[in-house]
Amino acid sequence: MVLVLVIGDLHIPHRVHDLPLKFKKLLVPGKIQQILSTGNITDKETYDYLRTIAGDIHVVRGDYDEVGSPLPTITTPPFLSFLPFSPIHAPPPPTPTQYPSWPLSKIVTHGAIRVGVLHGHQVVPWGDVESLSIVARQMDVDVLLTGHTHRFEAFENEGKFFINPGSATGAYSGIPGTGDVIPSFVLMDIQGNVVVTYVYQLVDNEVKVEKVEFKKSYAASKVL
């Protein structure tokens, strides 16, 4: 059994001050084996805090995870080259911060389960099921983690499992029509070919937990 924290779109301190205290009380060291972040941490102190929860941390670069100068043109990853994709020229965070060299995408393997991670701003339309499914096939992963929309989602499509942990801080989204953002993060309990997903959401200042289960089909994984 491996317990993995999936978290992203924190936007500290530019959009919110900190993680909700009730989330911090749950995220204590010694219980979580790995952290997979969908990006937009935007603050070194927050990154260092996450490392106290689990030393094994993997972060992909969000559209605000940049260093001190206008964002460079991002080269299209090979598995995204066929999607509607435009180079990103967004402004940097208000206060430049030195970050590790975070990749645009990452693949992590836990036994039979291959997990792909990317922020999601590269996938157009944002959060589109068909586009995400194409990416999952090209990355050859069973589970694809993305963010950017600040909205929790967990669903299965074409034998793949897709998770968007939402924004752990409830930071506002610049996407039109998003509305109020519910703070959320995800814990994945990976056991063999089964991924049990627990989503934690802060609703009316109370933590609500829901469970979603995905079982990898080996027959489906052989389909090209």
pLDDT, one tens digit per residue, over 112-137 is 999 999 999 988 888 889 999 999 99
- What is the CA 159 to chain-centroid distance, rounded? 20
| Sheet containing 160-164, strands listed edge to edge, beginning at the edge strand earlier in sequence | 105-110, 113-118, 143-145, 160-164, 153-157
Q: What is the pLDDT of residue 220?
A: 52
Beta bridge partners of 184: 201
CA pair distance 121, 147, nearest whole angstrom = 8
In the numeric block, which tokens belong to residue 141?
């992963």
How do residues 24-66 score in pLDDT, each as one tens digit? 999 999 999 999 999 999 888 999 999 999 999 999 999 888 6
Tokens 């911060």 belong to 97
| pTM attached to this predicted model | 0.82
Q: Where are the alpha helices (DSSP H) in 96-195?
A: 129-139
Amino acid 218 reads Y
Cα–Cα distances in Å, from 139 out to 36, 94, 120, 132, 218?
A: 16, 33, 14, 11, 17
Return the CATH superfamily for domain 2-221: Metallo-dependent phosphatases (3.60.21.10)
Q: What is the pLDDT of residue 59?
A: 96
Q: State residue 197's pLDDT score.
A: 98
Q: What is the C-alpha radius of gyration for the chain, rounded to an integer number of angstroms?
A: 16
**Predicted pLDDT of residue 127:** 81
pLDDT digits (tens, 9 = 90+) for 143-180: 999 999 999 999 999 999 999 999 999 999 877 767 78
The residue-averaged pLDDT of 188-196 equals: 97
Q: Considering only CA atoms, which of 141, 140, 139, 146 is closest in space to residue 214?
A: 141
Paired with 4 in beta bridges are 34, 188
Q: Which residues partner with 202 through β-bridges?
A: 207
Q: Is the pLDDT of residue 188 over 80?
A: yes
